[in-house]
Amino acid sequence: MSMPDLEDVLPRFAIIGAGPSGLCVARTFVRHGIPYDQFEADAALGGIWYHGAYATAHIISSRKISQFPEYPMPAGYPDFPSQQQVLDYLNAYAEHFALRDRITFNKKITLVQPLPGGSWNLLFESGEYRRYKGVVVCNGHHWDRRWPSYSGQFNGEIIHSKDYKSPEQLRGRRVLVIGGGNSACDIVSEAARVAADAHLSLRHGYWFMPKTALGKPIVELIGPYPLWLQRIVHRVVLAICVGDYRRYGLPLPNHRLFDRHPSVSTEALHYLKHGRIHPHPDVARYDGAEVEFVDGTRVGADLIVCATGYHVSYPFLAPGLAEVRGSVVRNYWGMISPQYRHLYLVGWGQPRSGFGNLLEPLAETLAQSIKTQDRMQFPLGAVLRRLRMPLPESHLADPFQLERGYRKARRLLPLLPRIERWLCSESDNAAPLPVLSPPVRSAEPMRVY
Ligand SMILES: Cc1cc2nc3c(=O)[nH]c(=O)nc-3n(C[C@H](O)[C@H](O)[C@H](O)COP(=O)(O)OP(=O)(O)OC[C@H]3O[C@@H](n4cnc5c(N)ncnc54)[C@H](O)[C@@H]3O)c2cc1C
């Protein structure tokens, strides 16, 4: 299929993905009157909650902080709704705000490429090209499996937690789960119920937290306090509810609380105490039907589940469009490209919160950024760079700090067109605003990485 003419730019945004992030962005665009088309690779909306999370998953963030404040979850939902309840809720959200008809399903984008004049070329799996004014990428960060690597050969089955769907995969088998995050806790607890044996291998100590304390979801115990105070509150709660991890056979955490994502699971701690989960250190090597750990102990296993996380990746972005360092996307306010006009990457961060209450202010800031960008000559990110705004250093974030950051950003946005004019008219314009010359249009799409 030939590429469209340069004049054929659709004066709209393309939103890639119809998970929670894409839906919230779409809803916010509707409210702001920003025209868009939305594309979803799957046959239905909901993202992880449609295709990814196992059937027995319940959110670890609570209903209160995971719902979109503008459209609360049904009052009858429990504190920790199930995968199906979250999916039903997202469908109801899309219905309520009439978002569904504007989503094209089974439409995967395979290339996003900047073109001269500042517009964007999108290539679909079907081979079709379209040109858009801008692109909002909401492709999620729980799909590009990160695998551990050990020497030796394992004769049983090895899967990633992404491919764990139901307890039937564990039933009656000797299961080893590698990893200490939330998925690992869920799966090894399920194995404790239905498997012949449930083993857990940890590379280092984690902060394991119960899901509730004082009858409330533990995630709701934090408030808009400084991090040190949040740490003290949680350390006290943990001392009372959990105590010393070594009494569960677990290593002590090797990092400060909240320096990494804590693992929220009452069940894992429960089954460790009941001897249904056997903790082990890191795997040293595979040896046929057995696994040897770094302390020299060995266990036999039929199934290994690698709950070892995901890479943040954008396989459809042409080279150079996004700088991803580990799990961190180096974009202003977590979404605005430092170089390109109207390229936004949403939803890669992992704040200690639920998706809803943070996506709303993020999407609002995005909509206001788009309107501001339309009044500016240079890419918004380039101006923010000249103002020496900091780029994110971590994918983990304090939700209250994030909200404050979005509020600050929205206060700054109306000033940016004037700041840009002022920067341009500076007499000693020694360091002019960087202008990116997009790659020259070629007959063939650029290499996808
Ligand atoms: C087991 C599990 C438990 C979790 N528990 C919680 C929790 O308790 N609380 C919480 O807030 N979060 C939780 N999460 C995190 C979860 O990622 C978020 O809740 C939320 O789904 C993120 O939304 P998203 O739209 O950014 O990404 P996703 O939900 O991953 O949606 C991305 C969408 O983009 C589509 N897409 C990707 N690439 C393309 C393409 N090239 N073209 C077209 N479409 C594309 C995908 O098909 C998908 O539908 C959990 C995740 C997992 C795996």
Name all domains of the chain by residue range, CATH numbers in brackets: 6-144+311-428 (3.50.50.60), 150-308 (3.50.50.60)
Cα-flanking dihedrals φ and ψ of residue 67, to 5°? -75, 155
At 75 the pLDDT is 94
Tell me how crowded residue 1 is: count the other CB atoms within 10 A of its CB. 9
Residue 3 pLDDT:
53
**pLDDT for the residue 400:** 85
Q: What is the pLDDT of residue 4?
A: 53
d(CA 280, CA 272): 11
Ligand 1 center to 112 CA (angstroms)? 20
Q: How far apart are CA 57 and CA 141, in angstroms?
A: 17
The rounded distance, in Å, linking the Cα atoms of 245 and 239 is: 10
Q: Output the residue whose Cα is nearest ligand 1's atom 1.
A: 53
Q: Could you tell me the sign of the dihedral formed by the alpha carbons of 39, 44, 47, 51, in that order?
A: negative
Whose structure tokens read 């008809």?
101
Counting ligand 1 atoms within 8 A of each CB, the residue from 139, 263, 311 with the most, and so the one to mutate, is: 139
Q: What amino acid is encoded at 312 in this protein? A: V
Contact 341, 136 (CB under 8 A): no
- CA–CA distance, 63 with 227 (Å, rounded to integer): 23
Closest CA to 134 of 40, 12, 37: 12
> How far is ligand 1, taken at its centre, from the CA of residue 54, in Å?
13
The two tokens of residue 223 are 């408030």
Torsion sign (Cα): 39, 360, 55, 345: positive
Q: How far is Cα 225 from Cα 234, in angstroms, rounded to an integer?
A: 12
Q: Tell me how far the alpha carbon of residue 250 is from its chain's centroid.
A: 28
Identify the pLDDT of residue 444: 30
Residues of the chain under the 70 pLDDT cut: 1-7, 426-449
User: Is residue 259 within 8 Å of residue 227, measured between CB atoms?
Assistant: no
Q: What is the pLDDT of residue 370?
A: 98
Q: How many CA atoms lie within 13 A of 275 on its CB side?
A: 0
Residue 337 backbone zone (phi > 0: left; psi -120 to 50: alpha; other: beta): beta
Q: Which two three-digit tokens encode residue 71? A: 């459209």
Q: What is the pLDDT of residues 279-293, one digit of tens each?
A: 999 999 999 999 999
Closest protein CA for atom 48 of ligand 1: 47
Token duo for residue 366:
């995005």
Place of tokens 């009439």: 98
d(CA 24, CA 13): 14
* Rounded-to-10 torsion of CA 100, 101, 106, 110: -90
Nearest-angstrom CA–CA distance, 25 and 188: 35
The token pair at 234 is 């949680």
Distance in angstroms (rounded) separating the CA atoms of residues 443 and 434: 27
CA 194 to chain centre: 30
Q: Are strands 129-137 and 9-16 parallel, antiparallel or unpaired?
A: parallel
Residue 285 contacts residue 151 (beta carbons within 8 Å): yes
The residues lining ligand 1, judged by C-beta closer than 6 Å to any ligand atom, are 16-22, 39-42, 47-49, 52-53, 57, 59-61, 66, 108-109, 138-140, 142, 183, 316, 347, 354-355
pLDDT at 7: 61
Atom number, ligand 1, closest to the C-alpha of residue 57? 1
- CA–CA separation, 409 vs 306, rounded Å? 39
Question: Interior CA angle at 373 toward 98 and 40, to 5°?
Answer: 35
Q: d(Cα 208, Cα 402) in Å, to the nearest integer?
A: 24
Evaluate whether 321 touches 337 at the Cβ level (below 8 Å). Answer: yes
Q: How far apart are CA 302 and CA 300, in angstroms?
A: 7
Tokens, residue 85: 């309840």
pLDDT score, position 92:
98
| Inter-helix orientation angle 355-373/399-412, to 10° | 20
> Taking the CB of residue 443, how many other CB atoms lie within 10 A of it?
6
Task: List phi, psi (to 5°) of 410.
Answer: -70, -25
| Cβ atoms within 10 Å, residue 292 | 18
pLDDT for the residue 116 = 87
Q: Which secondary structure element, helix H or strand E, spans residue 303, and what is its range?
A: strand 303-306
Tens of pLDDT, residue by residue over 421-437, are 998 886 455 454 544 43
Among protein residues, the one whose CA lies closest to atom 49 of ligand 1 = 47
Pocket test for ligand 1, best of 25, 38, 39, 48 (most atoms within 8 A of CB): 48
Structural tokens at position 82: 């199930």
